[in-house]
Structure 1
Amino acid sequence: MSSILTNTSAMVALQTLKGINSNLATTQSEISTGKSVGSAKDNAAVWAISKVMESDVKGFAGISDSLALGDSTVAVAQNAAETITDLLTDMKSKIVAAQESNVDRDKIQADIVALREQINSVVGAAQFNGLNLIEGTDAITVLSSLDRQTDGSVQAAHINVARQDLTASAGIAGTTALSGMTVADLGTITDANGATVTATSVATGSVAQLQFAGTAADGNVYSIDIGGNTVSYTADVTGGDTDTTIRDTLQGMINALGIEGITATAGTNTGELVISNTSSFEGMNIGVQAPASGGTLVIEELNGVTGLTATSGTIAQRAETIDFSTAAAVNDGDTYKVTVAGQSFNYIAGAGETMEDVAKGLKTAIDSNAPSGVTTQTQYNESTGQWSLAIDDSTGGRALSLNVTTGGTASGGLFGLDNIDVTTDAGAEAALANIETMIDTATEAAASFGSVAGRIETQSAFISNLSDSMKAGIGALVDADMEEASARLQALQTQQQLGIQALSIANQQPQNILSLFK
């Protein structure tokens, strides 16, 4: 049936042409914009994902800037720490030269002062954009990433950069009393005889009391070993040897060895030999060998312990020690104060420091202005992991004490640098030990900055690659396939022409009805 009111063929052709035109418009938009998903109406889910990823890419661009700033700041600090290490090494060579007594120590001291001033100059100049990583102890953070969680939330990630204080600041002592512990929980004072004390130093040194007993016989061999040096005597009873003459002979042989700090004397009892060690920081091993028969030889007393029957032991050093805890933590601002011979010396710990730092810091503090007759040495017990500060008072009888408070401002990593003085024998000797600690501090600082710089560099490269990967991912989601769009455009243009032709034919059909009325 034909109708002049309803042209079904024209309607079909028109709808077909509209569809073709719509697809053609979409294809032309893809070609002109380069995107297959240009707005939310094109594909809401894909558009939303792409926008989130685009925001992350922009965020990573900011992170790259943050990493670049952090890298530059750390690079300045690393360069400064390495320069300071070199300057301290040069200073060490001057200090070594000052160990000789026939050199011009005043000129060497002038060179050391010049190097010290140069170090201070480097410390002051080592800043980038106003931030100096070799002053103070507060750590800083560098924004390193934005981590998107599965629930859509975003968390910032950071690279922590610990400041490495290379100043010579003495710090500010804290005044807050310890809470929850006592001073003894952090360190105890042990005298030369191994007893825990709170009173005075002893200058007489430690002793080993040897006892000869019994009846000597011809051919008996008596041997005493001191620090690897052995003296022996074979008894000649027929020739008149007695316990006393054997003792006196061995006494003379021990003194003839010339071991520094070791002196042998006759005891008050018959057949008693007393061996004293007045060495400041060196204990001395001792061993005795008695004959198989015809008399005995034992260590009857050692370091204040009596009633022994020992054949070996160690005569302790003369110095007293502050033995620091192997369990307690060292906190930022903890102030360790040692009082010796009426003078007090402070070291204020910084963040992340250990008892090793405390022991070395106190040594430096005491050496900087040591009372007459007082010398120091840090000691480490490998079997227990304990650090100790040995303090020798050759004058003797003067009080030694330890006190700890909290709430201070940390001493600088090169604390004591300003007090190095090689114009005296004692000053030169102390400086040689303390400069090693300072070089270690500067070296560790440079290594720490180098490690952080490497991490920042790696993270920066990762962020760059990650941004490229995300851009590629976004492109895969929303970018148009131009080859496909080009082919589709040609096809749609052909379809459009055919659709127009079909609509034209359909519109001519009502004209054909007129022929029926002629």
Structure 2
Amino acid sequence: MASILTNTSAMVALQNLRSINQNLVDTQSQIATGKKIATATDNSAIWAVSKVIESDVSAFKAISDSLNLGDSTIAVARSAAETITDLLTELKGNIVAAQEENVDRSKIQSDIDAKVQQIQSIVDAASFNGLSLVEGTADVNILSSLVRDSTGTVTSSDITIARRDLTMDAGSIGASSTDNLANSVIQNGATAVESAGVTMEVTLGDGIVASDSFTIAVDGFEIDYTASGADETVMAEELAGFINALGLEGIEASNTAGVLEITSTRSFEGFNVTISNLSLTGGSVAITDDGSGGLATGNTATDSTGSQRAEEVRFSDTAIVSEGDGYGVTVGTNTYNYIAGPNEDFGDIARGLKAAIDGGGVAGVSTRVIENDDGSFSLMIDNDGSGQASLNLARTATENGVASGGLFGLKSIDVTTNEGASAALENIDTFLNTAIDAAASFGSDQARIDLQSGFIDKLTDSLRAGIGSLVDADLEEASARLQALQVQQQLGIQSLSIANQAPQSILALFR
């Protein structure tokens, strides 16, 4: 049926042309913007996903900046620790040179003081943007990543950098202990640091006669003794002469009313006396040392061990050291303190107290730190009597203090005396190890930061590529489609023109 009111062909042609024009507009927009999804109207779901990922990319850019800032901060600290390590190595050379008495120790001390001042200057300057990792003990957190879970919840993660205190600060002692650390942590110790030495007595009992024999050994050096008579005084005098003839360092024997006394003035080393190979007609040989020792009769051997002259402050092998716990040792009238830093143990406490006492310059007093067989540590304090003959010894413990610096005691190094030079040689390795550990720790942290920074860069590139695959237009396809649509548009226009001409044919019916 023909109609001049309704042109169905024109309506169809017009709809096709509108569709072609809309596709043409979309294709031209893709070519102009480079995106197939430029707005939420293009595809709301994909657009939303792309915007979330774009926000993460922006956040990761900020994280990359944070990592770069952290890397620079750690690099400054690492460089400072390495330089301090080099200076301490040179300083150790100075201390070794000072062990020789035939040198100008005052000049060596001046060189040491200059290096110590330089170390202080390095510590003071080793900060980046106001943040120093070689002062204080509080950890520093560096923003390292974002984590988005399946529910869309975002959390941040950090890389924790432990500060390494390379200051020489003494710290500050905290309040009195509330849990009696002095008793629960410090196990043993004496009340006085004496200089007289340790004496072991050998008593020759009644009944020993001429030709009786036995072997007495002092620190493994044996003397085969045959009695010349039954007089204890003569026998003790003879034995003392034989022992003294051994020339053992710090060991001296004497006869006191028929009792053989063997005295050791060794600071940090004990000694042993053994009686064996007995051939006695009667009588006995008894060894006593502070109530220890034993009795040798017939063919029964006995031995006893004497302690070192130094007094011992032994620390627990089970108790825990917390940051801020302070430990003090009073020698004479002066108290020397060390306050624990993070992750320190009683070995660190003992070495810190040693450095404090050595720096106190108490005449005749020397110290040593030893690790016992059970894993505990002991601080040995010796008095050679060149100063006060008897020094009171007291121990205290507190908590909640401010930690001593990692190089605490370095300023007190004094090699102008024999005692100071010896103490410095023992302490310098502690300082050197502290600096080496700090440099190694910072190096490890910086490597971790660099790895994380590289990962963030790769992750950001992957996210950007993912966004591109979601929203970017395929320009090759769009170009080909544009040409096809332009042809379709021309054909659509012609089809619409033909359809519009259809009503004209109705006029022929009226001619």
TM over 0.5: yes
The equivalences for 1:199-348 within 5 A come to 199-210=191-202, 222-227=214-219, 229-233=220-224, 235=226, 249-266=238-255, 273-291=260-278, 300-305=287-292, 311-312=302-303, 314-348=305-339
Q: Aligned equivalents of 2:264 and 2:468: distance in 1?
A: 83
Q: Aligned equivalents of 2:283 and 2:107: distance in 1?
A: 60
- Tell me how far 1:181 sits from its aligned partner: 3.9
TM-score w.r.t. structure 2 length? Answer: 0.90
Structure 1 gaps, min length 5: 192-198
Q: Aligned equivalents of 1:277 and 1:364: distance in 2?
A: 26
Q: Aligned equivalents of 2:290 and 2:160: distance in 1?
A: 50
Q: Is the 8 A contact 1:166 1:442 kept in 2?
A: yes
Partner of 1:385: 375
State which drifts further: 458-467 or 326-335: 326-335
The equivalences for 1:22-171 within 5 A come to 22-171=22-171
Q: Is the 8 A contact 1:322 1:389 kept in 2?
A: yes
State which drifts further: 273-282 or 332-341: 273-282
Partner of 1:516: 509
Deviations 1:39-75 (A, max 9, x none): 1111112111111111111111111111111111111
One-letter amino acid of the structure 1 residue matched with residue 463 of structure 2: M
Q: Is the 8 A contact 1:233 1:246 kept in 2?
A: no
Change in CA separation of 1:299 and 1:64 when aligned onto 2, cut-off 3 Å:
farther
Q: Name the SS for the 1:143 alignment partner.
A: strand
Q: Aligned equivalents of 1:472 and 1:298: distance in 2?
A: 93
- Tell me how far 1:456 sits from its aligned partner: 1.0
Change in CA separation of 1:307 and 1:225 when aligned onto 2, cut-off 3 Å:
closer
One-letter amino acid of the structure 2 residue matched with residue 150 of structure 1: S
Q: Is the 8 A contact 1:140 1:160 kept in 2?
A: yes
Determine which of 437, 444, 447 is the counterpart of 1:444.
437
Determine which of 456, 477, 499 is the counterpart of 1:484.
477
Q: Aligned equivalents of 1:367 and 1:432: distance in 2?
A: 11
Q: Name the SS for the 2:292 alignment partner.
A: coil
Q: What RMSD, in angstroms, separates the aligned Cα atoms of the two structures? A: 2.7
Q: Aligned equivalents of 1:10 and 1:292: distance in 2?
A: 140
Partner of 2:341: 350
Q: Is the 8 A contact 1:248 1:266 kept in 2?
A: yes
One-letter amino acid of the structure 2 residue matched with residue 315 of structure 1: G
- Tell me how far 1:349 sits from its aligned partner: 1.9
- Tell me how far 1:226 sits from its aligned partner: 3.6
Q: Aligned equivalents of 2:454 and 2:295: distance in 1?
A: 70
Partner of 1:196: none
Aligned residues: 504
Q: Name the SS for the 1:399 alignment partner.
A: strand
Q: Is the 8 A contact 2:181 2:398 kept in 1?
A: no
Change in CA separation of 1:152 and 1:295 when aligned onto 2, cut-off 3 Å:
farther
Q: Is the 8 A contact 2:236 2:254 kept in 1?
A: no
1:394 counterpart = 2:371: no
Q: Aligned equivalents of 1:220 and 1:5: distance in 2?
A: 153
Structure 2 gaps, min length 5: none
Q: Aligned equivalents of 1:446 and 1:84: distance in 2?
A: 9
Deviations 1:447-487 (A, max 9, x none): 11111111111111111111111111111111111122222
Q: Is the 8 A contact 1:290 1:298 kept in 2?
A: no
Q: Is the 8 A contact 2:210 2:229 kept in 1?
A: no
- Tell me how far 1:247 sits from its aligned partner: 6.1
TM-score w.r.t. structure 1 length? Answer: 0.89
One-letter amino acid of the structure 2 residue matched with residue 289 of structure 1: S
Identity of aligned residues (%): 51
Q: Aligned equivalents of 2:221 and 2:282: distance in 1?
A: 19
Partner of 1:189: 188
Q: Is the 8 A contact 1:133 1:165 kept in 2?
A: yes
Q: Is the 8 A contact 1:303 1:316 kept in 2?
A: no
Change in CA separation of 1:464 and 1:240 when aligned onto 2, cut-off 3 Å:
same
One-letter amino acid of the structure 2 residue matched with residue 3 of structure 1: S
Change in CA separation of 1:225 and 1:44 when aligned onto 2, cut-off 3 Å:
farther
Determine which of 375, 394, 399 is the counterpart of 1:406.
399
- Tell me how far 1:314 sits from its aligned partner: 3.4
- Tell me how far 1:360 sits from its aligned partner: 0.8
